[in-house]
Structure formats: structure tokens, C-alpha cells
Amino acid sequence: MAVNAIDRTRRLLSLVTYLRDRPGARVDEVARAFGVTSDELISDLQVLPMCGTSFRGGDLLDIDTDGERIWWYNAEAVGDDSGRPLRLAADEATALLVAARAVATLPGLRDSDRDALLRATAKLEAAAGETAAASSRLSVTFESEGGVFADIDRAIAERRRVRIRYYSPGRDQLTDREIDPIRLFAVGHTYVEAWCRRSEARRTFRLDRVTSIEVLDTPAEPPPVEPRDLSAGLVQPAAGDPQVVIEVGPAGRWVAEYYPHDTAEELADGGLRITLRTADPTTLRRLALRLGGDGRIVSPPALADSAREAAREALAAYGG
């Protein structure tokens, strides 16, 4: 499967730690350790000098290679082993304080977690000095899914079943379900992994698509299943899933960065021809509508026709 920007970023971050501990490392050995070719590694090494703890010259990573070995001339730019406390820049302290205060207001946050967060925030405020006062003029408000989160969190803690009404955008349909929640997690949005009694299978539900919720007195009894491995992301297509081909223009190249795919071929106009797999190809109709004139589904033909029909219906609904 082709490597997207997220996978490459993970590799670059790991590469920083790896090279810091191995001054003068050989290119071929590092490439072998990371499962890439020497050319791919050299390409990564050309990106790293544009990274650092800030954009000030001395804070950028001074990494170079002669094609055989890799040299890092300012490895202390990402910290050292002196035991000195970490010093936060004003913008870093502000970002942490604003985020911490916002998280502390979330509904459903356990009292013990909120208390721990407030204690940490107070210590950070004391260390930040004048920056803390300036940061108090900024605030962040989260869109409300907190009530659903709180109910799911309580149901998990009390091992109780939950009744939800859930919107499925792929089918544009509301369904009533009873679920035995297993865990909450966040990958971009907040989800609950649960055993769905309607389908008698493990399912994942996005909290902001839950339109109503009721915690039942019925005990939750999900079968003993291993939590899904999310290290590769929430969407993990299988080799046997149907294959879909999409062509996007230059403005649609972001699709290759966000969707796991098998191949991404360059097109003459600067766009891409992307081959990917999905268990439910109909969900890609929404992607096609989002792309508009910047992309189209090439195959399978039935899905391409369905996407065009959805676009016509959308235009008709707006009097187009």
C-alpha cells in the first residue's frame, strides 16, 4: 500500500530519535531498519533540515549525508541528557494553557481527571508567568457532543446497555440500536466501540451522529473481543475489499494524504489517479460530491453512475 503523509510523518519522527542515538549511521543500514530504499531515506533526509523546535536558524535540524553516512551537527536541538528542565516558549505555553482550560470544561470528564488537569494547569500558569495572564484572554469552545460522551462513559463504567438512534450518512438513514459499549476512543472525532445487538457484531459509532441516547438498566454483556488495533488509523481496508479508482485534479491531491490507498499515479494535469479499497464503496459517493469538479470516480462503473446521479439530485435540490 502506498505511503501517505501521515505514515511518512510517523517515520520522520522515529528517524529523528534513531539518528540522534547513532551519529554517523550508514545510509544502507538505516534504510534497512526502516524498511525503505536508500533513495526514499535520502528524500526523508532532505525534509528533516526544514524541521526543528522553532524556525530560528539554530533550532532547525542540521542533518546532512554524503550518500554513505548520515551526520547530525546539532543533535542538542531536540534536547539533551543534562537533566535540565524543559523550557516552553511563550506560544507553546499559551497553546497548552488554552487547551487545558478548554478540556477541563468538557462534560463527562471524570472529577479525578478534572482535578488532576486543574493542578497541572496551575503549575503551568506559575511557570509561565506573564504568558499565563495573556493566555487567559483566549478561549476555546467545543461543539457539544458531551452529553452523549457522558452517557456512554457512565454506561461503560456501570456495564449497562445503551439505546441509541444513529445517523448513517452512507445510507442517509436513521436507525434505532441497542449496544453494549466497550470503549471510547478518538481518531479525529470521538467514537464508541460497541457490540451492536441489532447486527450481532462489533461496530464503531461516531458520537456526533448519535441523535438520541438512553442508558438502560439491562446489563451490558459484550462477547470477549480484542479491541481493534487503531495504530494504522480507523479506516483499515482489507485486501479482499472491492477496489475503487478515483481521478482527482491538483486541488484534490489531498485525497491521497487522508485515504489509505494502493497506488497514486501522477496525471499530466498535476492530478492523481488513486486506487483504493473499501468495504462499502457507496460511502465514496460523499467524497465524490465533496470533490465536485476536482475529482471523479472512474470505476467500478456502477459506483461512478451512482455518484453522478447523487450530484444531479443535489443540484436539483438547490434549483440547479
Q: Give the pLDDT confidence score for residue 99 in this predicted structure.
A: 84
Q: Give the pLDDT confidence score for residue 82 in this predicted structure.
A: 45
**Where in the chain are the domains?**
5-78, 90-135, 146-219, 243-317
Which stretches of the chain score pLDDT less than 50? 1, 82-83
Which of 77, 16, 79 has its CA nearest to residue 44? 16
- What's the rounded Cα separation, in Å, for the pair 289 and 37? 37
DSSP H/E element including 23: none
Q: Give the pLDDT confidence score for residue 83 in this predicted structure.
A: 47
| CA 194 to mean position of chain CA atoms | 20
Q: Does domain 146-219 have CATH number 2.30.30?
A: yes
pLDDT tens digits, one per residue of 45-59: 888 888 876 666 667
Q: Give the pLDDT confidence score for residue 230 in this predicted structure.
A: 63
Those residues whose C-beta lies under 8 Å from the C-beta of residue 235, and which sit 6 or more positions away, are: 259, 260, 278
Contact 158, 203 (CB under 8 A): no
Q: Which CATH class is domain 5-78?
A: mainly alpha
In terms of residues, how long is the chain? 320
